[in-house]
């Protein structure tokens, strides 16, 4: 006799929340008049510092690699050594599997039969504006899919800076290296950075 009564009590407690209380909540509808606010308007201005959805990216150069619909040349800020290091790190993670460590298009998946991407050392890509690389990383190109969901805009610019460094290093001479940095060159016993 006690078990059925206990079961009914538990079931009744569970059903207490199954009513239409949300229908009668005190929410305000947009543009509805309300005595709650002094101006009687239910639509409130945004709190200082709030960025409306879709309006956060006001710097076209930084977020799109374009200005007035044209691909940009150059970088949105001066390139730093730290940015180059970050670019090398991200390049090695996301780009080298196809483009190879040196950017010639001989990455690991190419060696396994995937179509070869263009070399960053081709004249066409050496002449391409930095905005081109930003656009390709963001939207993909040919067999390359978009990396927009994986690589933040600041990281894209770092990767582009590193690609430019790879392009410059291709034809570099020892004389191009500042004397204080020459001690880091492999032939002088320095570390080549794992490459």
Nearest to 99 by CA among 194, 192, 167: 167
- What is the distance between the alpha carbons of residues 180 and 184, in angstroms, rounded to a whole number? 9
Q: What is the dihedral of CA 134, 60, 123, 172, to 10 degrees?
A: -80
CATH class of the domain comprising 73-171: mainly alpha
Domain map (residue ranges) of the chain: 73-171
Task: Tokens for 24, please give them.
Answer: 């009668």
- The count of C-alpha atoms lying within 13 angstroms of the C-alpha of 47, restricted to the half-sphere facing its C-beta, is 1
Query: pLDDT tens per residue, the chain (195 residues)?
Result: 577 777 777 776 666 666 666 666 677 788 888 888 898 888 888 787 777 676 667 788 999 999 999 999 999 999 999 999 999 999 999 999 999 999 999 999 999 999 999 999 999 999 999 999 999 999 999 999 999 999 999 999 999 999 999 999 988 888 888 888 888 877 755 555 544
Q: Structure pTM?
A: 0.67
């Amino acid at each position: 006799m006690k078990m059925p009564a206990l079961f009914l009590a538990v079931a009744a407690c569970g059903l207490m929340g199954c009513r239409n209380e949300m229908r009668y909540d005190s929410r305000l509808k947009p543009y509805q008049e309300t005595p709650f606010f002094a101006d009687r308007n239910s639509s409130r201005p945004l709190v200082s510092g709030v960025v409306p959805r879709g309006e956060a990216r006001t710097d076209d150069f930084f977020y799109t690699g374009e200005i007035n619909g044209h691909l940009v040349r150059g970088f949105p800020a001066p390139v730093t050594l730290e940015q180059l290091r970050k670019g090398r790190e991200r390049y090695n993670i996301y780009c080298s599997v196809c483009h190879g460590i040196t950017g010639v298009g001989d990455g690991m998946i190419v060696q396994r039969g995937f179509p070869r991407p263009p070399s960053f050392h081709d004249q066409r890509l050496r002449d391409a504006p930095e905005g081109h690389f930003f656009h390709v990383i963001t939207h993909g190109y040919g067999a390359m899919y978009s990396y927009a969901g994986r690589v933040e805009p600041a990281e894209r610019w770092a990767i582009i800076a590193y690609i430019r460094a790879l392009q410059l290093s291709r034809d570099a001479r020892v004389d191009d290296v500042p004397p204080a940095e020459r001690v880091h060159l492999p032939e002088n016993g320095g570390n080549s950075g794992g490459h």
